Amino acid sequence: MRCGARPAGEGRRVARLPPEMLSACWALLFLVLDIGVAQVDDDFLGLGELPETFPSDPPEPLPVFLMEPEEAYIVKNKPVNLYCKATPATQIYFKCNSEWVHQKEHTVEERVDENSGLVVREASIEITRQQVEELFGPEDFWCQCVAWSSAGTTKSRKAHVRIAYLRKTFDQEPLGKEVSLEQEVLLQCRPPEGIPAAEVEWLKNEEIIDPADDRNFYITIDHNLIIKQARLSDTANYTCVAKNIVAKRRSTTATVIVYVNGGWSTWTEWSVCNSRCGRGYQKRTRSCTNPAPLNGGAICEGQGIQKLACNPLCPVDGLWTEWSKWSTCGTECTHWRRRECSAPAPKNGGKDCEGTVLQSKNCTDGLCMQMAPSTDDVALYVGIVIAVIMCLVISVVVALFIYRKNHRDFDSDIIDSSALNGGFQPVNIKTARTADLLTAPPDLTSAAAMYRGPVYALHDVADKIPMTNSPLLDPLPNLKIKVYNSSGLVTPQDDLGGDFSSKLSPKLPHCLLDNSDSTMGRRTQTQTLLRTRDPSCTALGSFNSQGGHLIVPNSGVSLLIPAGAIPQGRVYEMYVTVQRKDNMRPLVEDGQTVLSPVVSCGPPGALLTRPVIITMHHCAVSDSQQDWLIQLKSQSQQNQWEDVVVVGEENFTTPCYIQMDDEACHILTETLGTYCLVGQSLSAATTKRLKLAIFGPVTCPAMEYHIRVYCLDDTQDALKEVLQMEKQMGGKLLDEPKTLSFKDSTNNLRLSIHDISHTLWKSKLLAKYQELSFQQVWSGSQRNLHCSFSLERFSPSTVDLACKLCVRQVEGEGQIFQLDTTLSEDTQSIDTSLLDPASNITTLVGPNAFRIPVSIRQKLCGSLDAPQTRGNDWRMLAHKLNLDRYLNYFATKSSPTGVILDLWEAQHFPDGNLNRLAQVLEEMGRHDSLVPAANEH
């Protein structure tokens, strides 16, 4: 039997051969192989000359690697060893960088597996630093193990060998800071360059920080440490530590000092005057202990003691005057005299006079006796009292009877639009008026003195005229209020209550009416919303995990649902609507103003896995934003308005983020509900934009002509609502709407009309101008605020009207309208294309709702989410797109780039410029990421 061969059924006998014989057999085999390749160069193994198979019985399978070479790093000058193991293997060698490693450099061991009887070969080589450094080329140094058997060859995976290092200097070290209590702290750290990449940990006073143990700490993906709300206990030394297999580096220590500014306690009560009589002072005190300053915090500014001059008047005791003369002797044989406590009267806490005011005595020296009243007089007095009581009772009974009879028979119709216009016109009982509001305007002259409702104060009759704040043009003609006395019929309150909408004109948009939300689930709520609201106010749609876009046409309001916001496998029926009910608007305090429409989106309580973006217009002048304190408010389930976040003060605890543009704001939130922006003025220079629009009737058969001037918040929806309302009433625009900057100067808005042809027209105003009070204009809590100018023509043949109308803030800016209209033109209703005419499509579903294709978005996120040493990652993208006001919001998201791109989509809907986005990426050195998408669009 030849060496190494084994007959069938005797495979285990090989293990029993003496070691000397086995070594001799393998030596002989290698000798034969060496002779076969003797003519090959010594530096090449000549493995190509090996036979395809080696004699074995039965045939062996392909080699299988039991151990493959692993990635390795050379630390300093210490070489590394690569190992591999295969079975069954007749030969096993390493190949490095596509070249065979010489046999002499191998360490090969061989054994026979006791279980399978197959030959197992192990090989190892040593790689030195010099070998790795001598390699030139784009690839790193690599090695691969190759094993042979009679069935063929098998290659292992490639194992790279790199020289490990860690530079000494940090790219960015943390800097010490002094911060106030509860302020957010950001300590930046960019570790030194190294192979393998260094791991980073933070030390607080030489103890490792674990965010899982203390949630007030947060370590971002780019190794920065964030202290969410600084506490006194966070005053410490912080060190950034970077380490890999080569070394461990420590940054310089950054000292964070959390200080507390001192605060005054409340004032004590004023002390009593230190002088009981005459000049003195009283004082009150406070202490700088609420809280006391700590760690170098600022001490309280101001004084701890206040003094107030006092001059209490000295008390004056009262004294009696002289007695008066005695009165004449009366029928009771007495006369009287009196005196007063007024010489002087008691003042300033002085004592009253002691004694009696009146004095009496007998004036006949006892000769006159007083007589008791007779029984006849007593009976007379009692009879008179009883008669008076009976008369009163009879009068009350008769009055009640007449009252009940009158109310039983009373059944009247009140048909007059003045019931809704704030009380300008007296109500006519049983007198039907068929004229609409355009031809029957309020009579400002007759109602000012008789109506005491919501009317402006009449300061100067010669110069001003009272104005109403009620919506004169609410489209509610021919409203009937029926009054009954029967307990089972409708009362005036009931008639104006829940069934009120059924008495309105059928042309009236339902979005202008009161409407209660259903509580029978999300689907029922959405269906109810669809039935009760006009499409001009609401957009609805069904969405899945691919996302989409809801747009309320021509209102500047939309809801963007990014892909992935809805959990996989779920479908939501979502909506966004503009609330136009006055009771839905938040109440504002002095100095506050409503800056946006009230927008609701739902379904409430829906689970979202990434932020959606609510877009709405606002009327704050952005270049004076430092004068604004803008709050986002939301309405709770109890219909109470609550503060959500102050723009510019977002932190880790706030549930949303707000991006303010010049005319629109974008709210990123994972909570659906009702939202509104409210601004707080911080200075007299704070400015908001008003939109001024002037309307008149299309036709005017009457002699009177009425011009209505609307002063609206400069938002698309506010103008859209007025256009819809005037369209219902048959009104027309007399001039292009104009924008007016209105400042928080407490000055009123003044309106006046000029250059009227006095030979053709006359004004019915009693004053030179009208004014809207500052508070009503500034607060923004009144929708459709307007006033009316009444003109009367002398002849029915007069059909042309030309004049100027001036609207300006007292001591502020103004606008002048040039009116030139023809009364006989029977034009159509208002063309709402005056608003930016968007598509009638309100719902976009799936990838078509977004400008950036899904493949490009995924590529951008994969490329920019990971932090780069050059900084050209998502942070630079946010900076280039002017979205870097609060980067920590994006840093807490699983894909910061994805959220930034979602916000870009919302900002630039519907015509986002992909070429501009590609230009930004090119400036970042990432231009290849969006070039295909820009070419496609």
Owner of token pair 């918040």: 713
pLDDT at res. 98: 86
The set of long-range contacts for 230-236, using a CB threshold of 8 Å and a minimum separation of 24, is 230/179, 230/180, 230/181, 230/182, 230/183, 230/184, 230/185, 230/256, 230/258, 231/181, 231/182, 231/258, 232/181, 232/258, 232/260, 232/294, 232/295, 234/185, 234/258, 235/295, 236/204, 236/205
Q: Are 192 and 170 in contact (CB under 8 A)?
A: yes
pLDDT at 531 over 60: no
More reliable by pLDDT, 444 or 369: 369
Question: So what's the pLDDT on residue 563?
Answer: 94
Map tokens 């920080």 to a residue.
209
The pLDDT, as a whole number, for residue 239 is 95
Reported in sequence order, the residue ranges of 622-765 that DSSP labels E, i.e. its strands, are: 628-635, 641-646, 656-660, 664-669, 674-681, 687-697, 704-713, 731-733, 738-743, 749-754, 761-763
Cα–Cα distance for residue pair 891/899, rounded to 1 Å? 10
Q: Which two tokens stand for residue 475?
A: 């489209």
d(CA 711, CA 469): 11
Average of per-residue pLDDT across 602-606: 91
Q: Note whether 209 and 202 are within 8 A (CB).
A: yes
Confidence of residue 163 (pLDDT cuts 50, 70, 90): confident
- Distance, CA of 420 to CA of 476 (rounded, Å): 8
Query: Which residue carries 């220079």 as its tokens?
Result: 685
What number is the average pLDDT over the span 475-493? 33
> CA 659, CA 625: separation in Å to the nearest integer?
13
What pLDDT shows up at residue 930? 53
Short-list 161, 165, 166, 164, CA closest to 140: 161
Distance CA(218)–CA(212), nearest Å, equals 9
Q: What is the mean pLDDT of residues 157-161?
A: 91
| Cα–Cα distance for residue pair 247/244, rounded to 1 Å | 6
Q: Which helix (H) or strand (E) holds 855?
A: helix 854-864
| One-letter amino acid of 202 | W
Radius of gyration of the chain (CA): 47
Cα separation of 460 and 472, whole Å? 24
Q: pLDDT digits over 887-903, tens only?
A: 888 888 889 999 999 99
Query: What are 237's two structure tokens?
Result: 């030394």
pLDDT reading at 279 higher than 90: no
Chain mean position to CA 841: 26
pLDDT reported for residue 561: 96
From start to end of 260-324, where are the E strands? 280-285, 305-310
Residue range 348-372: average pLDDT? 76
**Which token pair is 683?**
């200075």
For tokens 């192979």, the residue is 195
Element (H, E) at 204: strand 199-204
| pLDDT at residue 644 is higher than 60 | yes
- pLDDT given at position 491: 33
Mean pLDDT on 793-822: 89
Q: What is the pLDDT of residues 73-126, one digit of tens each?
A: 988 888 999 999 998 888 899 999 888 988 888 888 888 888 888 889 999 999
Tell me the one-letter amino acid at 702.
Answer: A
- Between CA 177 and CA 185 the distance in angstroms is 8
- Pick from 367-371, 866-870, 896-900: least confident: 367-371
Q: Tell me which of 498-512, 760-774, 782-796 is least confident.
A: 498-512
Least confident stretch, 380-394, 600-614, 918-932 = 918-932
pLDDT at 831: 53
Q: What confidence tier does 54 reach under pLDDT thresholds 50, 70, 90? A: low
* CA 689 centroid distance within chain: 20
pLDDT at 532: 52
Answer yes or no: is pLDDT of 929 > 60: no
Is residue 908 helix, strand or coil?
coil
Query: pLDDT value at position 815?
Result: 92
Per-residue confidence at 419, pLDDT binned at 50, 70, 90?
very low
- Distance (Å, rounded) from C-alpha 615 to C-alpha 883? 15
**Cβ(618)–Cβ(690) under 8 Å?**
no
The confidence score (pLDDT) of residue 151 equals 85
Q: What is the mean pLDDT of residues 636-656?
A: 87
Average of per-residue pLDDT across 450-475:
35
CB-CB contact of 517 with 524 (8 Å): no
Sheet holding 770-772, edge to edge: 770-772, 749-754, 800-809, 814-822
CA-CA distances (angstroms) from residue 530 to 510, 515, 574? 11, 12, 11
For residue 894, give every residue at least 6 positions away whose Cβ sits within 8 Å of its Cβ, in sequence order, or none: 610
**Distance from the first to the final alpha carbon of the chain:** 78
The mean pLDDT value for 751-761 works out to 89
Residue with tokens 């966004």: 576
Burial of 418 (0-12, 13-18, 19+ CB in 10 A): buried
Half-sphere exposure of 885 (CA within 13 A, CB side): 12
Beta bridge partners of 146: 93, 155
Burial zone of 590 (CB within 10 Å; 0-12 exposed, 13-18 middle, 19+ buried): exposed
pLDDT (average), residues 604-631: 86
Indicate if the alpha-carbon torsion angle 809, 810, 811, 816 is positive or negative: positive
Q: Residue 722: enclosing H or E segment and its boundaries?
A: helix 716-729
- The Cα 771–Cα 143 span in angstroms is 89
| The one-letter amino acid at 443 | D
In the prediction, which pLDDT does 511 show?
35
User: What kind and span of H or E run contains 217?
Assistant: strand 217-219
Residue 928: CB partners within 8 Å, gap ≥ 6?
none
Q: For residue 634, name the pLDDT band (cuts at 50, 70, 90).
A: very high
Supply angle C-alpha 903, 907, 908, rounded to 5: 120
Chain centroid to CA 28: how far?
85
Alpha carbon distances (Å) from 583 to 545, 580, 598, 601: 35, 9, 11, 18
Q: Tokens in use for 92? A: 């096993």
- pLDDT tops 80 at residue 377: no
Region at 638 (left for phi over 0; alpha for psi -120 to 50; beta for the rest): alpha
Q: Pick the most confident of 360-369, 426-435, 575-584.
A: 575-584
Handedness of CA 711, 715, 719, 722 (dihedral sign): negative
| pLDDT surpassing 50 at residue 32 | no
What is the pLDDT of the chain when averaged over all its residues? 77
Residue 739 reports pLDDT greater than 90: yes
pTM over 0.75: no
State the Cα angle at 137 between 132 and 141, rounded to 5°.
Answer: 30
Report CA dihedral (817, 820, 824, 830) to the nearest 10 degrees. -40
What pLDDT is stored for residue 727 in this prediction?
Answer: 87
Amino acid 38: pLDDT: 38
Contact 312, 300 (CB under 8 A): no
The 8 Å CB, 24+ separation contacts for 269-272 are 270/308
Q: At what angle do helices 896-907 and 854-864 cross, to 10 degrees?
A: 130
Q: Which of 235, 387, 372, 347 is nearest to 296 (CA)?
A: 235
CA 588 to chain centroid, in Å, comes to 17
- What's the CA gap between 628 and 95, in Å, rounded? 71
pLDDT value of residue 625: 55
Tell me, letter by letter, the H, E, C secondary structure of 333-389. Answer: CEEEEECCCCCCCCECCCCCCCCCCEEEEECCCCCCCCCCCCHHHHHHHHHHHHHHH
Q: Could you say which DSSP state residue 613 is in?
A: E
Q: Across residues 592-601, what is the average pLDDT?
A: 92
Comparison of pLDDT for 814 and 34, the residue scoring more: 814
Phi and psi at 73, nearest 5°, equal: -125, 135
CB 922 within 8 A of CB 902: no
What confidence tens digit (pLDDT) does each residue in 533-586 have? 566 789 999 999 999 999 998 889 999 999 999 999 999 999 999 998 888 888
